Homo-oligomer: A and B are copies of this chain.
Amino acid sequence: MKNEKPSKNWKAKIHEIIYGTHTPAGKLFDILLLVLIVYSVIIVMLESVPRFDTKHHRFLNISEWVVTILFSIEYILRVICINKPKKYVFSFFGIIDFLSTIPKYLAFFFVGSQYLTAFRALRLLRVFRILKLVRFVGESNKLINALRASRTKISVFVFFVLIISVLLGTLMYLIEGPEHGFNSIPHSVYWTIVTLTTVGYGDISPETPMGQFLATLIMIIGYGVIAVPTGIVSAEYASNLNPNKTMDEGRSCPNCSCEIKRSDADYCRKCGYKLTEDDDD
C-alpha cells in the first residue's frame, strides 16, 4: 500500500471510488448508492398504492426519472472504468444493474406493462452488492458461516418435511374431501404445510372429527420438529463461537503428523512424542 503511484489516471480513480471501499470517497459512494437504491425501491412500492399514486403521480414520475438517470450514469461509468467490461456486463450483478436501469426507457415502447414493475423491484437485489462488501464486518460473516455449515442438513430436513407433507396432505384429502375445502391433493399439501409450519391461515380448516384429530397430530409434529433446524443452527453457531475448536485446527504432531485436538496436550496422544519444550529442565 505504501508505494502506490500518485500518477493514476481518471479511470483508475473512478474505479477506486465505484468498486473500492477502503477510501473515504469509495465509502461515501457506497452510502449514496445505498440511499439511492432504498429510495428507488420505496418509489416502486408507493407507486403500487392506488390512493398515493393518483395523488402524487407527478412526484413519483420525476423521482423515477432521476433514479433512472443516476443509475444510467453509474452503469456507464462502471462499464468504462473496468478493465474487462465484457466480464462485468455478463456477470450476475452486471445483469441486475442493467435490468434495474432500463424499465423507464422500456416504458416508451411497452406502455403500461405491469412486468416493468418486476424489473424495477430487481433494484433491491443491488443492495446485496454493497452488503457483499460489508459482510466481512464480522457479525454477518459468522451468521453466513453458520448457515453455510448447516446448509446440507437443512436441505435434508426440508426434504423430509416435504415428503411428510405430501403423505399427510393426501391423507387429509381422503378424510376431508372437496366438500370441506380440501379441493385437491396439491391444495391439501398446501394446507398441511400451512399447518406444519404453524402459520395457520384458517382459509381452510378441518371440519370432521377425524380430520381435526389428524390436524392435531400434524401440529404436534410441526411443533416438535421445528426444533430440528433450530438445533442444527444453534449447535453450528455455538461451535463457531467456541474458540477452542477453531484455534487447534492445523496444529499437528511433528513426529507422527496426526492432528492435535486438545489445546492443553503436552504429549502427542497417538505416538507419545513430547510436544512442549518448556518443561525440559
Q: Given that A147-B228, A220-B161 are contacting pairs, would A118 and B48 also be in contact in the complex, using a CB cutoff of 8 Å?
A: no
Q: Nearest Cβ in chain B — how far from A245, in angstroms?
A: 7
How would you classify the secondary structure of chain A's contact residues: helix, strand, loop or mixed?
A: helix
CA distance A13 to B269 in the complex (A): 44
A127: nearest chain-B partner, CB-CB: B163
In the assembled complex, A152 has its CB within 8 A of some CB on chain B: yes
- Interface contact B234-A230, CB-CB below 8 Å: yes
How many monomers of this protein are in the complex? 4
Check if A222 is an interface residue, CB within 8 A of chain B. yes
**In whole Å, how far is A26's beta carbon from the nearest beta carbon of chain B?**
22
User: A121 contacts which chain B residues (CB < 8 A)?
Assistant: 166-167, 170-171, 185
A118 to B185, CA, bound (A): 11
* CB pair A219 B194 closer than 8 Å: yes
- A202 interface neighbour in B166, B187, B190, B201, Cβ under 8 Å: B201
Q: Which residue of B198, B239, B259, B274 is within 8 Å of A198 (Cβ)?
A: B198
Sample 10 A-B pairs with CB under 8 A, ordered by A number.
A48-B184, A121-B166, A124-B170, A190-B215, A227-B233, A235-B241, A242-B245, A257-B279, A267-B267, A268-B269
Give the interface size class of chain A.
Answer: 35 or more
Select the residue from A242, A263, A267 with max chain B CB neighbours within 10 A.
A267
A229-B224, A267-B270 given; A143·B153 CB < 8 A: yes
4 A-B pairs besides A114-B174, A201-B202 with CB distance below 8 A are: A197-B198, A202-B202, A224-B229, A231-B237
Tell me the complex Cα distance, A239–B237, Å: 11
Assess the A269–B270 pair: CB atoms within 8 A.
Answer: no
Which of the residues B173, B229, B276 comes within 8 Å of A223, measured between beta carbons? B229
A121-B253 Cα distance, complex, nearest whole Å = 54
**Inter-chain contact B264/A189, CB cutoff 8 Å:** no
**For A127, what are the chain B residues with a Cβ–Cβ distance below 8 Å?**
163
- CB < 8 Å neighbour of A235 from B166, B234, B268: B234
- Interchain CB contact (< 8 A) of A230 among B158, B190, B230, B279: B230
> Is A140 on the interface with B (CB-CB < 8 A)?
yes
- What residue of chain B has the Cβ atom nearest to residue A224's Cβ? B229
Measured between beta carbons, the chain B residues less than 8 angstroms from A139 are: 152-153, 156
Instruction: Please report the C-alpha to C-alpha distance between residue A142 and residue B261 in the assembled complex, in whole angstroms.
Output: 20
**A107-127 toward B: CB 8 Å interface, digit per residue (1/0)?**
000000011011001001101
- A230→B222 CA distance, assembly (Å): 12
Q: Is A236 in the interface zone, CB < 8 Å from B?
A: yes
A76 at the interface (CB under 8 A from B): no
